[in-house]
Amino acid sequence: MKKRSRMVIAISVILIAVFGLYIFQSQRYRNTYLPRTDVAGVDVGGKTEAQANQLLQTHFKQQKFTLVEGDKKLLSFTGETAGVNPDFSQKLTSLKQQQNPWSWPLHLLTGTSTAQASKSLKVDQTTFDQFVKQTATQLNKGRSASKNATVTKQNNNFVISKAVTGNHLNTEQLEATIRTGLAASDGQIAVKTAYAKPTVTADSARLKQAVTKLEKIHNENITYTINGNKVTVPKATIYGWETFTNGKVSLDEAKVRAYVASLSKQYSTINKDRQFKSTKSGTVTVPAGTYGWSIDTASETTTLMAKVLEGKDFTRTPVIQGVGYTTDKSDIGTTYIEVDKTNQHMWYYRDGELVLDTDVVTGKPGQDTPSGVDFIWNKQQDSTLKGTNDDGSAYASPVDYWMPVDYTGVGIHDASWQPTFGGDWYKTHGSHGCVNTPPTTMAKLYSLVSTGTPVIIF
């Protein structure tokens, strides 16, 4: 009987001890985490919130991470180097509120684990950005960039070249990869997901449309009519203009401009000497003057490019600047004023018929009337011509009729102060460069001539 009593007492003591231990531990886990509590791969069991948070901060700052590419280790660093500045306080508080301190015995068997630390693993953005930028620069040395599929020229045709996948790392993608990898418990971060992959492949509908458009442009029939000449733009020239840049069909402006400039050089008349059949001196060579035209290269280039990109056949006359443009290659034409300095005489022809002629006085030696093919660009009545005499004194000569022919002050006007015209009078009493004309004749000429009329001086 005594033996049974002692056994009962022993069992009771053990039960009381176990129950006491259970109560003691349950009270302890009111302020600490249950055993085998895992947060982001770190065991915080038995730790207070502050202790757990400090443990997690230390762990992730000191944790070693390695960037890997397949089996190759590229770079190792610590969380602190990458600017890791974790704060698990919110997660830990939530976890603490959810746990039941009386369930600690069950926790010894099952444990609990939270999700990865991606939301709690904060970083100092400035430090992190600088780290990623430096890492990308370091790792990309010697790497090949991916290339998008594109349209290229080949054997006078257009073909779609395939995309090429390289191993160059995209900085933004690398940043996202490392940012996610910092929360991984194993510390291994694979950079393969950060490759800058091609964004356009060979089956792109946009590329196929571009090829169609380029071929259409290549086969355009483009014709120019220039001063009575018909010029067909060679298809090889059009092909040379075509480009496909940044996903867009366009033209090489420099090449188009060069072509337009070549047309202007070949067909324009500005700044070119002329062979002129004169009234008394036979065929003479007259230097270039103010008369003539050229293609406005800048405007025509812009207009031509726009027309070509429409993909349709067209014929056009280029944008012209200057005077004297015709459609029959006649240049000077049959209406003009002729000034023969050797014979000191002037003629006015209209539609090939002589309308008026007169002796004149041109510039005296040293102040010769400049030779050239010019034109009447303005007409004024009652003007005062001003300039400087040989002795340096200023002069001001009123005239009734004034028709400038160049842009230096040379023109045709009446000269009431001249007692005679023609002959050798100009050698000692010549003008300062203008064509002095008898007043009565000048009045008639002024009434007959319109602006734009060519003036051939030789």
Structure tokens at 454: 């060519």
H helix and E strand count, the chain: 12, 26
DSSP E strands in 71-143: the ranges are 72-78, 112-113
Out of 59, 107, 345, 434, the active site residue is 434
- DSSP string covering 413-434: EE-TT-S--STTHHHHH-BSSS
The token duo for 432 is 């300062």
Task: Report how far residue 169's alpha carbon sits from residue 180's, in angstroms, rounded to the nearest whole number.
Answer: 16
Sign of CA dihedral 170, 175, 178, 180: negative
Distance of CA 208 to the CA centre of its chain: 24
- Structure tokens given for 176: 């996202």
Cα 215 from Cα 199, distance rounded (Å): 24
Region of 152 (left: φ > 0; alpha: ψ -120 to 50; beta: rest) is: beta
Pick from 210, 206, 234, 199: which is nearest to 159 by CA?
A: 210
CA-CA distance, 227 to 109, in Å (whole number)?
Answer: 101
Q: Is 69 helix (H, G, I), strand (E, B) or coil?
A: strand
434 is catalytic: yes
What is the crossing angle of helices 297-308 and 253-267, to 10°? Answer: 120
Q: Measured in Å, how far apart are the chain's first and last C-alpha atoms?
A: 157
User: Is 378 within 8 Å of 451 (Cβ atoms)?
Assistant: yes
Per-residue tokens: 258:
């060069």
- 413 catalytic per annotation: yes
Q: Which of 59, 107, 413, 432 is catalytic?
A: 413
The answer to whether the CB of 307 falls within 8 A of the CB of 314 is yes
Q: What are phi and psi of 416, to 5 degrees?
A: -65, -20
Residues 421 and 95: their CA atoms lie apart, in Å, by 118
- Residue 237 sits at φ, ψ, to 5 deg, of -70, -45
Catalytic site positions: 413, 434
